[in-house]
Chains A and B, each alone.
Chain A
């Protein structure tokens, strides 16, 4: 039976980003200061003003190669978002040293009904080629769409399980099936805050005693025409045709920031009670010391709210029992969207005052693009890695930022005790999480 005082750790990290499979390829790029942003290759993006993304190379990730043989057939009904999440879950489980139904014939390390699964997902965009191929069968001679024909015949050209690809809970459902997680399961759909909220929920589920460990985080693919268009509609994207220096395209906290860019990827963690991790001989990456969640009161769902961000941080610090002096690094959303960055900085300043510009930040979006529901999964995974390695990766973006230490810099070694991760997502959900170093 758990309680609110039950210690919870991150005992495994699985990341898929534009750099490929695993935290290490991303981490290496971040140590070197090498962005993964480039002109979109999956389709011709010329019709959009923002033509850049954090996109996986064509052969960099194939879900069929990473799932167990028993689940290969099911990959046919996976959308890209689900593929990314399932792939990241395989990496997370391996990273934690867990045996599950998805890892081979060894008996599971943990009882299946004590393993939960909380996965952040986005509004999954339909594949316009798949849907379009069915829709054109109902096109009249005059070029208009014939709904009557669609209802009687045209829809038969859609594969019967078409809808199941696009339900946001399918990320979590496929993961539960692959790993035989029979405990509490949820799909959190809160844009950039989705992964962080999933981790918050996993911790709460463990603390109330309903699970010993949870697969937790999120994934999303925005590198397709419909998803790119939907981001375009927010007015948040930086215009670029992909020429020029991509390492300074996204400039978190810069006066000259012009917006963010899309990405695909995600991060799945193993969130586990410290007791469970220790009992099985696991090696935690970091502790989850405190979490605060708040809702924005901004006038638009696209705007962030400094007060909500500050309040979330206050709550997280309270839970962690930490003072601001014990926070050595901050991992903000840092999207390059000026209003959101300004709100993050103002919210942080409310808490840290003038100390803010001396606390280094880690920003991931200039490397990976904004992976939306997967974004905080990636950034929290990077924070866990920074605590483990005691290193601060290089930063990309602008040379100068005001009031916050977020300008370009090289990587360096650093004594890091605690990292504050924050995210302020589209729709207004704000999350602050304090991660702590594992004491030897």
Chain B
């Protein structure tokens, strides 16, 4: 039976741009949330976010000229992919069949030039007709917008850049299931390998909505925290006083291979993807199903594929030692996710540590799941569980072990990583310590 292993991983995040730095900062309970300085958000209801800093994408590519001015989401993906590719050692494997090396991204759209678009829409506004004059609009657009910048907004552009950088010619997909996208991409990349369509898949996610229209959209949905104290305290998943999510940005990328392929080239598997579950709430666009039907189905399906009974124990301990929660810090998500975990794990639920790294770096939207899966793998590798920070006011309704505020040592061999998207698309991955 085909097995799928992870042989490389990398990330670009608000907490740093390499595996070790970010990991150390998370273990030290640090927050990357700070005042937005990419645009003037001082009048916005939300003025803070987790911003990627000190990042120059050209340091992560062989020849920047081939990349045609990548948008920021593509830049992040190139940065994370470089780390993953190098760790996998595939760069030195000259026999790689590039038509058997594919890519599955969960990437969001590029950054909209809000300054230009707001000028175009307002200047072309016809007061008498109370709508845009399309002829004037077209003229202003053609005079003001960067044409290539508009092309770069297509969500599959990060895929193109990363595939081009590494010469990948195998199966290629991009999905965008909102906050669940990169978990879905990794799960489906695993499926492509299991189906026999590729030997190697570069996969993960990338996104930034840290621009004026992105913050506007989520502010109007009242999904973002408008906390008026220290921004580092704003993201507080599972806390009673949680008040919405905090925007983040970045990318997480992984190299997946069939075990056979990895071993044949002498690579060292880092971990094994053993389960993937996908479901739809099929309930409402604006709300999660109140009983957590969809999330519970995704977790159940992933554990079922992994042949793991969530209610079983060995020596009194659950078979899953850590859950990386979607844990957005919204009232609804954290409550429903807790319900779903309880539904699936039954009496074991209180004994499975659950934490949300969104408390420290914010919500990376499409990229969140891939960064969180890497967190799971780092937990397996280091024997550390990263905390949910800002959990100072426990919610009596939420009574799981959320690893509050301080990292802890633990023997971790098997993790679950959850991602649930706006609109009700739910995805869960199960990753295990590699055991030959």
Contacts and interface: CB of A to CB of B under 8 A. Distances in A.
A113 interface: yes
A355 interface: no
A185 B280 contact: yes
B221 A293 contact: no
A183 interface: yes
B173 A147 contact: no
B135 interface: yes
Contacts of A128: 121, 124, 132, 134, 137
A330 interface: no
Given A133-B131, A295-B172, 15 more contacts: A47-B135, A47-B139, A123-B155, A129-B132, A132-B131, A145-B115, A170-B285, A181-B280, A183-B278, A184-B280, A186-B175, A187-B425, A189-B175, A293-B173, A307-B169
B285 A173 contact: yes
Contact of B195 (A136, A185, A207): A207
B194 A208 contact: yes
Nearest to A305: B169
B222 A160 contact: yes
Nearest to A169: B177
19 contacts: A47-B136, A47-B137, A123-B155, A131-B121, A136-B122, A148-B42, A152-B44, A161-B286, A163-B220, A170-B285, A177-B282, A183-B278, A185-B424, A188-B174, A204-B192, A229-B142, A293-B171, A297-B167, A307-B169
Contacts of B121: 128, 131-132, 135-136
A166 B43 CA distance: 24
Contacts of A180: 282
B199 interface: no
Interface string B283-316: 1111000000110010001000000000000000
B249 interface: no
Interface string A170-208: 101110110111111111111100000100010011011
Given A132-B122, A132-B124, A168 B155 contact: yes
B132 A123 contact: no
Given A128-B137, A176-B424, A294-B99, A429 B155 contact: no
B246 to A, nearest CB: 16
B160 interface: yes
A182 B279 contact: yes
Nearest to A4: B195
B217 A162 contact: yes
B174 A164 contact: no
Contacts of B184: 186
B208 interface: no
Contact of B173 (A47, A173, A185, A197): A197
Given A177-B424, A302-B151, A164 B286 contact: yes
Nearest to B46: A151
A162 B220 contact: yes
A1 B168 CA distance: 31
A428 B170 CA distance: 11
B163 A230 contact: no
A295 B42 contact: no
B363 to A, nearest CB: 14
A293 B134 contact: no
Nearest to A171: B423
Nearest to B153: A123
B413 interface: no
Contacts of B217: 162-163, 166
A352 to B, nearest CB: 19
Nearest to B161: A301
Contact of A172 (B39, B136, B141, B425): B425
B150 A229 contact: yes
Given A169-B422, A186-B278, A150 B164 contact: no
B297 A113 contact: yes
Given A112-B282, A311-B169, A155 B219 contact: yes
B188 interface: yes
A174 B422 CA distance: 11
B153 A429 contact: no
B40 A204 contact: no
A16 B368 CA distance: 35
B212 interface: yes
Contacts of B286: 161, 164
Interface in B383-436: 421-425
B279 A113 contact: yes
A184 B279 contact: yes
A60 interface: no
B172 A428 contact: yes
A210 interface: yes
A131 B286 CA distance: 21
A234 B151 contact: yes
Given A47-B138, A132-B121, A169-B177, A185 B160 contact: no
Contacts of B425: 169, 172-173, 176, 185-187
Interface in B218-249: 218-222
Interface string B195-206: 111000000000
Nearest to A179: B282
Given A133-B131, A177-B284, A181-B282, A155 B42 contact: no
Contacts of B348: none
A159 interface: yes
A45 interface: yes
Interface in A410-431: 425-429
A37 B156 CA distance: 28
Contacts of B177: 169, 172, 185-187
